Amino acid sequence: MKSIIIASTSTIHGSGYLEYLLDELENHFKSVNEILFIPYARPGGISHDAYTEIASKAFKRIEKTVKGIHEFDNAENAIKNAEGIFVGGGNTFVLVSQLYKNKALAPIKTAVTNGIPYLGTSAGSNICGLTMNTTNDMPIMYPPSFKTLGLVPFNINPHYLDPIVESKHMGETRETRIKEFHAFNNQPVIGLREGSWIAVENDLLTLKGTLEARIFECGKTPYEIETNSDLAFLK
Amino acid sequence: MKSIIIASTSTIHGSGYLEYLLDELENHFKSVNEILFIPYARPGGISHDAYTEIASKAFKRIEKTVKGIHEFDNAENAIKNAEGIFVGGGNTFVLVSQLYKNKALAPIKTAVTNGIPYLGTSAGSNICGLTMNTTNDMPIMYPPSFKTLGLVPFNINPHYLDPIVESKHMGETRETRIKEFHAFNNQPVIGLREGSWIAVENDLLTLKGTLEARIFECGKTPYEIETNSDLAFLK
Q: For the segment B3-51, what is each residue's pLDDT rounded down to a tens digit?
A: 999 999 999 999 999 999 999 999 999 999 999 999 999 999 999 999 9
pLDDT score of B128:
98
Report how far residue A173's alpha carbon sits from residue A178's, in angstroms, rounded to the nearest whole number: 9
> How close is the nearest chain B Cα to the Cα of A157, in Å?
10
pLDDT at B199 over 90: yes
B235 within domain boundaries: no
pLDDT digits (tens, 9 = 90+) for B66-94: 999 999 999 999 999 999 999 999 999 99
Residue A177 is predicted with a pLDDT of 94
Direct distance between the N- and C-terminal alpha carbons of chain A, in angstroms, rounded to an integer: 19
Q: How high is the pLDDT of residue A166? A: 74
Task: Give the residue-averaged pLDDT of B56-67.
Answer: 98
Which residues are CB-neighbours of B21 under 8 A, at least 6 positions away?
A: B5, B7, B197
| Cβ pair A44:B179 closer than 8 A | yes
Provide the phi-psi class of A63: left if phi over 0, else alpha when psi is between -120 and 50, else beta. left
What residues of chain A lie within 8 A of the CB of B136, using their CB? Answer: 138, 171
Is residue A57, in this structure, part of any structural domain at all?
yes
Task: Identify residues of A whose CB sits under 8 angstroms from chain B CBs.
Answer: 9, 11-14, 42-45, 90-91, 93-94, 132-142, 145-146, 159, 161, 164, 168-172, 176-185, 194
Q: What integer is the mean pLDDT of B128-139?
A: 98
The reply to whether residue B181 touches residue A138, judged by beta carbons under 8 angstroms, is yes
pLDDT at B164: 79
Main-chain phi, psi angles of B121, to 5 degrees: -125, 135
Which residue in A40, A127, A138 has the most chain B C-beta atoms within 10 A of its own C-beta, making it the best mutation to test that interface? A138
The answer to whether the Cβ–Cβ distance between B180 and A44 falls below 8 Å is yes
The enclosing domain of B113 has a CATH number of 3.40.50.880
Is residue A179 in a domain? no
Q: Look at residue A170 in the predicted model and tell me its pLDDT.
A: 76
Q: How far is CA A2 from each of CA A123, A233, B54, rounded to the nearest angstrom?
A: 20, 18, 50
CB A213 within 8 A of CB A160: yes
| Residues in contact with B27: Cβ distance below 8 Å, sequence separation at least 6, in sequence order | none
Helix, coil or strand: residue A81 = coil
Q: Is-contact A201 A225, C-beta < 8 A?
A: no
Say what the pLDDT of residue A163 is. Answer: 85
User: DSSP state, B102?
Assistant: T
Residue A125 lies in a domain: yes
Q: Is residue A182 included in any domain, yes or no?
A: no
Domain count, chain B: 1
- What is the per-residue pLDDT for B174? 93
Count CA within 13 A, CB hemisphere, residue B40. Answer: 27
CB burial readout A114-134, b (16+ within 10 A) else e: eebbbbbbbbbbbbbbbbbbb
Q: Which amino acid is at A171?
A: G
What's the ipTM?
Answer: 0.94
The whole-number pLDDT of residue B172 equals: 84
Q: What is the pLDDT of residues B169-188, one digit of tens each?
A: 877 899 999 999 999 999 99
Q: Which residues of chain A have pLDDT under 50?
A: none
What pLDDT sits at residue B165?
74
How confident is the model at residue B169, as a pLDDT?
A: 80
Mean pLDDT of chain B: 96
User: Which of the two residues, A164 and B53, has the higher pLDDT score?
Assistant: B53
Per the domain annotation, does B31 fall within a domain? yes
Average pLDDT of the segment spanning B122-139: 98
- Please give the pLDDT value at position A172: 83
Grade residue B167 by pLDDT with cuts at 50, 70 and 90. confident
Asked about B169 being catalytic, the answer comes back as: no
* Residue-level pLDDT at A211: 97
Structural domain range at position B204: 3-225
Q: How confident is the model at residue B134 (pLDDT cuts 50, 70, 90)?
A: very high
Q: Is residue A173 part of a domain?
A: no
Task: Indicate whether A149 belongs to any domain.
Answer: yes
CA distance A204 to B10: 46
